[in-house]
Amino acid sequence: MSEPSRILHPGLRQKIMSADAAAALIEHGDHVGMSGFTGAGYPKAVPQALAKHIEQANQGGNKFRIGVWTGASTAPELDGALAKVGGIEMRLPYQSDPTCRARINAGEMDYIDIHLSHVAQFVWFGFLGKLNVAVVEVAGILEDGRLIPSSSIGNNKTWLDQADKVILEVNSAMPLGLEGMHDVYYGTERPPHRKPIPMTHPGDRIGEPYLHVDLSKVVAIVETHSLDRDTKFAAADENSQRIAGHILDFLAHEVKVGRLPPELLPLQSGVGNIANAVLAGLNQGPFENLTGYTEVLQDGMLEMLKSGKMVMASATALSLSRAGTKEFLDNLDFYRQRIVLRPQEISNHPELVRRLGVLSMNAMIEADIYGNVNSTHIMGTRIMNGIGGSGDFARNAYISFFVTPSTAKDGAISCIVPMVSHVDHTEHDVQILVTEQGLADLRGLAPRQRAQVVIEHCAHPDFRPALRDYVARAERSARGGHGGLHTPHLLDEALSWHSRFEREGRMLP
């Protein structure tokens, strides 16, 4: 027996069509705002149908390329499919797809890497041009046309508001029990009409559970039945566990000396294994009544909600493994009381991150001895993913942590370098660096003091002598009149580790 229709609005039922027919409404040169945030809630059918149209156009000698705007990263069915056929002229604000990445680094596709809290307002302000089409996945449509959001909200409110044409994918694989979990704040305005955002706790509901759309703009409804991509959730490796251990020790110490309350402060946790290891550690740790104020809710946080260690979590997306998804679906009523999903301009809002006093933990590619962090570029030139929300959180956090294993590529790369090859987070925004080797607390330290603790606490022992030697020679050079001793550097050598890696496949001779 088939499920009753999820499209309760009679007028919109008239707009049901195939993905192929819907994709045909998208034209060359369009800016298309798609749903999707870290592999959650992206449209499953229209982008693939569009990729076919693009491929056919290309085979017919016609150019067909679009701008793809999303919440954050999506999945092979969206970024992968469109990038494969060369259909993306410009991509923003974040991606993590291998085909996209290869195209961007080959110069075949433009990519604008934007703080995730900036995207919606840049569109409202008109800074990114006109949004032509929105393609947004929802879990259902109410009789009055209001939309039940899917597993992420991201920029969907903005895409629906700003686009000329709206294509909705109604995904019947999304649990209807999601209804009521979302909190869409419609109180945002453009300056000078902005008001304080009335939130003082991560669990506050300040909006409504539905998305609105001007029904006259809806040009197509496509029915789908497809789960989000599976977000792999691996058991923590030894390095991740050691990093988590250093962070837990630090947090315990901060509570002990009165710089953090016993229930800590709302946790923001980046995506990936180290983040999950930290959360797993907290789940075994001494802290109770924790809260989360983050972008993406992963298995690690779900388990903390389940255990009761965490009482409430706010995010803009649910990015779960298959096992996590099953746990979530089996206990939807439990989780609906403990999870709030919000638009990303709210989940990442500087006003709220600062007010709530978020403890921000993000992965990085490399840090330098003075505490500058590179989150995005391999050897200074190749984009990996993007800055995502790390800048929204790090600058406004109560304490901002950046974490990485101390080495990469079997020890050929040191993740602590004399000078980072690209800066995403300046020394001013980085309080704590952590590797499996240890934790560097940079609060209240001047640059040369920072270099000392970064090298001795975070660098891998194989690289410490070379880093100490660099610092010593840079200071000697400054004392000899070449450069200053505030932030000593040897300009001819500062990027030589990266350059050697490009030439020889290792950072040190």
Contacts with its own copies in 82-111 (CB under 8 A)?
A: 90, 104-107, 110-111
Rule CB under 8 A: choose which of 230, 248, 496, 506 binds its own copies: 496
With tokens 């500087």, the residue in question is: 350
User: For its own copies, which is the closer residue by CB, 125 or 334?
Assistant: 125
Q: Pattern 125-144, binding to its own copies, x per CB under 8 A?
A: xxxxx---------------
Rule CB under 8 A: choose which of 22, 221, 339, 387 binds its own copies: 387
Contacts of 184 (CB under 8 A, 6+ apart): 149, 153, 157, 207, 208, 209, 210, 211, 342, 343
Q: Which stretch of DSSP H or E encloses residue 223?
A: strand 218-224
User: For its own copies, which is the closer residue by CB, 77 or 79?
Assistant: 79
Chain positions 186 to 205 lying near its own copies, rule: CB under 8 A, are 190-192, 194-198, 200-201
User: Which of the residues 254, 295, 303, 345 is marked catalytic?
Assistant: 295
Cα separation, 12 vs 34, whole angstroms: 19
Rule CB under 8 A: choose which of 355, 457, 464, 506 binds its own copies: 355
With tokens 């993000």, the residue in question is: 362
At 209, the amino acid letter reads: P
In 142-272, where does DSSP find H-type helix?
A: 156-162, 238-256
Is 44 one of the annotated binding-site residues? no
Question: How would you list the strands of the sheet with 267-269, edge to edge?
Answer: 339-341, 310-315, 290-293, 267-269, 359-363, 399-403, 432-435, 438-441
Judge contact between 324 and 298, C-beta under 8 A.
yes
Chain positions 233 to 272 lying near its own copies, rule: CB under 8 A, are 257-259, 261, 265-266
Q: Does 489 bind its own copies (CB under 8 A)?
A: yes
Rule CB under 8 A: choose which of 379, 430, 439, 459 binds its own copies: 379
Comparing C-alpha atoms, which of 301, 234, 277, 231 is closest to residue 405?
A: 277
Is residue 367 helix, strand or coil? strand
User: For its own copies, which is the closer residue by CB, 326 or 428?
Assistant: 428
User: For its own copies, which is the closer residue by CB, 95 or 283?
Assistant: 95
Chain positions 429 to 488 lying near its own copies, rule: CB under 8 A, are 429, 431, 443-446, 448-449, 474-475, 478-479, 482-488
Chain positions 2 to 21 lying near its own copies, rule: CB under 8 A, are none
Dihedral angle computed from the Cα positions of residues 311, 314, 315 and 321, in that order, rounded to the nearest 10 degrees: 10
Q: Return the range that interacts with its own copies (CB under 8 A); candidates 11-19, 49-57, 173-181, 344-352.
A: 344-352
Rule CB under 8 A: choose which of 398, 401, 402, 470 binds its own copies: 398
How many residues can be counted in the chain? 509
Rule CB under 8 A: choose which of 177, 245, 350, 411 binds its own copies: 350
Task: State the nearest-atom distance from the C-beta of 485 to its own copies, in Å.
Answer: 3
SS (H, E, C) 85-150: CCCEEEEECCCCCHHHHHHHHCCCCEECCCCCCCHHHHHHHCCCCCCCEEEEEEEEECCCCCEEEC
Binding region for CoA: 365, 385, 389, 409
Binding region: 365, 385, 389, 409
* Catalytic residue numbers, as ranges: 295
